[in-house]
Copies of this chain bind each other. A is one copy, B any other.
Amino acid sequence: MKQKLEPRVVIVGAGFGGLYAARTLARFPVQLTLLDRKNHHVFQPLLYQVATAGLSPADISAPIRWVLRRYRNVEVLLAEVIGFDLDAHQVRIGDGYELAYDYLVIAAGASHAYFGHEEWETVAPGLKSIEDALEIRNRVLLAFEVAERQAALTGQHPVLTLIVIGGGPTGVEMAGTLAEITHTALAQDFRAIDPKRARILLIEGGPRILPTYPEDLSQSAQRQLQKLGVEVLTSALVTDVQAGSVKVGSNSIRADVTVWAAGVAASPLGRSLAVPVDRAGRVLVSSDLSIPGHSEVFVIGDLAAFRTEEGKMLPGVAPVAIQQGHAVARNIGRDLKGQPRAPFHYVDKGSLATIGRAAAVADFGKIHISGRIAWLAWLFIHIFFLIGFRNRFIVLFQWAWSYFTYQRGVRLITGEPKLARTGDLETSNRAKRA
């Protein structure tokens, strides 16, 4: 250990894991560099609100360097990490630059997995970034505009169908909120079509939605969704996704918009470490979250596969990433003081999944809650964790506003949408990324 210079710590990724690691580490005598491809941290649990026109991107994001502006020993750089030289202790970023480290914390997260059907991505975008959320918002709003236009000009149009693939928390949230906006915010604004007649389908391959929740909450969530008007298909295997349709088994279903919420794949930076990974590409970490053979390199958050002492794998959720960020920071602090590291212990405070307006399920171990109370718990916990006072206030106001008026304030179609006919919606926001 170098004693003269403060150790250089590099953190890759400013999601929950990286950002909380940075905040805790900043209090130790280290030189910290935080790298991210984006200039902003995104509060991912509320991305679906951007995708459904309830909140603006800025309401759930904050510039990373603004969040960390008070820590003078923290440098934030907008940079894409392309690999590591673990022996030389270097992070490789674009343009031939390298960054040396004494400690490395990799929190590069996960993106969508299409299970070998990457061609489905342009047709059925997932929901991981602000850009994804804007793309889905554009597609949903545009579907209604195109149907209205077609009905006004030709006197007919097919029943609008919005399909969400994947019955985990994101899929449940998206399907519930889509049902909500078609029945409330959009209901009065059209003349030639009736948005209330739109079909919302949630398709889950397994036998029940919210498979990581207790069975009674899965059933409650399904009932709450159905009450909102969502058709829930379980044990339904998606065999093909095309522009304008989704195939379930051998049945083809018309689809104006398809959203993918069926799987995640760890960042390819995990595999680039050449240490053991699981099937999803997550790095198998030690009890202190370091990787085999390199005690100075840690992997946390969605990119880490951590097995608890009880043999359970931790899920890829924000509380795990946050606690791992803190844990790694404190272990580096212990190293600096010459103290032994502590193993990571996850404290599970329960799980909450929102479904729609005043609809949610909550699993607090022995206590299972559904409906309005679970939704209120969800609301306050999420607003409390939103980073920055400004965001918290605005989000609360927007929410109160849309709750009491049934309006969605952010119904903008941006970019240059192709005004194609129904069944071929693709906005150029997406086209440019493909």
Residues of A participating in the B interface, judged by any CB pair closer than 8 Å: 33, 38-40, 56-59, 61, 63, 65-66, 69, 72, 74-80, 94-95, 97, 99, 130-131, 134, 141-142, 145-146, 148-149, 152-153, 188-192, 390-391, 393-394, 397-398, 401, 407, 409-416, 419, 421, 428-429, 431-433
- Are A401 and B397 also in contact (CB < 8 A) when A40-B412, A131-B415 are? no
Contact of A79 among B74, B78, B149, B409 (CB under 8 A): B149
- Are A63 and B411 also in contact (CB < 8 A) when A79-B419, A149-B78 are? yes
Contact of A80 among B192, B393, B419, B421 (CB under 8 A): B419
Q: Are B412 and A61 in contact (CB under 8 A)?
A: yes
A contacts with B: majority SS = mixed
Q: Are B407 and A401 in contact (CB under 8 A)?
A: no
Task: Count copies of this chain in the complex.
Answer: 2
Chain B residue numbers with a CB within 8 Å of A397 are: 393-394, 397
In the bound complex, what is the Cα–Cα distance between A433 and B429 (angstroms)?
10
Q: Are B191 and A40 in contact (CB under 8 A)?
A: no
User: What would be 18 A-B contacts, judged by CB atoms less than 8 Å apart?
Assistant: A39-B141, A40-B411, A40-B413, A56-B410, A63-B412, A65-B190, A66-B189, A74-B191, A77-B148, A78-B148, A78-B413, A78-B419, A95-B421, A97-B153, A391-B409, A394-B398, A416-B433, A431-B432
- Are A146 and B428 also in contact (CB < 8 A) when A94-B419, A419-B94 are? no
Chain B residue numbers with a CB within 8 Å of A415 are: 131, 429, 432
In the bound complex, what is the Cα–Cα distance between A192 and B77 (angstroms)?
10
Chain B residue, CB-CB nearest to A55: B58
Minimum CB–CB distance for A159 against chain B, Å: 19
- Are A390 and B413 also in contact (CB < 8 A) when A39-B145, A69-B188, A149-B77 are? no
Chain B residue, CB-CB nearest to A74: B191
Chain B residue numbers with a CB within 8 Å of A390 are: 401, 407, 409
Contact of A78 among B134, B145, B429 (CB under 8 A): B145
In the bound complex, what is the Cα–Cα distance between A63 and B141 (angstroms)?
10
Chain B residue numbers with a CB within 8 Å of A74 are: 191
The residue in A134, A192, A414 that gathers the most chain B C-beta atoms within 10 A of its C-beta is A414
Q: Are A38 and B148 in contact (CB under 8 A)?
A: no
- Are A39 and B431 also in contact (CB < 8 A) when A78-B149, A95-B419, A394-B394 are? no
In the bound complex, what is the Cα–Cα distance between A74 and B152 (angstroms)?
12
Minimum CB–CB distance for A34 against chain B, Å: 11
The residue in A419, A428, A433 that gathers the most chain B C-beta atoms within 10 A of its C-beta is A419
